[in-house]
Amino acid sequence: MATGDVTQPSGDQDPRQAGILRRGEAGRPYRLGSMIQTLLVPSDAMSGHVEVWETWLPPGASGPSAHVHDALDKVFYVTEGRIEFIVGDHVEIGDVGCWVTIPRGTAHTFANSDTVPARFLMIETPSGRETMFKEMADALPSDAPPDPHVMDAILRKYDTRPA
């Protein structure tokens, strides 16, 4: 098999089984303000235990306000540019190859304070927030600020509360 070829599971194999190479099944990108979130590994690929997102931030852009997840752990892994991570009271700048863990119950946010775009992977466990980004993107008007009550209701539905 050539590098990059995809092994398709036979009819009797569970597609979540270890050793099955699958090409990215990314859904459409979701624009949230200037940030773009793209699903890379859906939760059903890992029996609901993990999902992986790619986040793109233009220069000078901020992520969400500081927030907390009570039942969700995250890992961020920088793949392009530099990201400023604020975790609890700590501020760290991560460049390509750096990663940061966000244990459940920890306030966090991020920003791209650099002059070039940045990209990072966001790995979440357990999974279950795949539809959150779609709901948020659908609720963001293109010509006005978002309704904070609508956004707050969506976030709380998916284990996200203000810090």
pLDDT tens per residue across span 12-42: 555 555 556 566 556 778 888 899 999 888 8
Band of residue 7 on the pLDDT scale cut at 50, 70, 90: very low
- Tens digit of pLDDT for each residue in 35-94? 999 988 888 777 878 999 999 999 999 999 999 999 999 999 999 999 999 999 999 999
State the pLDDT at residue 148.
87
Residue 90 one-letter amino acid: H
Give the 3-state secondary structure of residue 37.
Answer: strand
Query: Which is more confidently placed, 15 or 108?
Result: 108
Q: Whole-model pTM? A: 0.81
Tokens of 19: 């050793």
CATH class of 30-162: mainly beta
Cα separation, 60 vs 111, in Å, equals 7
> Cβ contacts of residue 80 below 8 Å, gap of 6+?
96, 117, 118, 119, 120
Query: Which is more confidently placed, 147 or 46?
Result: 147
Q: Are 45 and 25 a contacting pair, CB within 8 Å?
A: yes
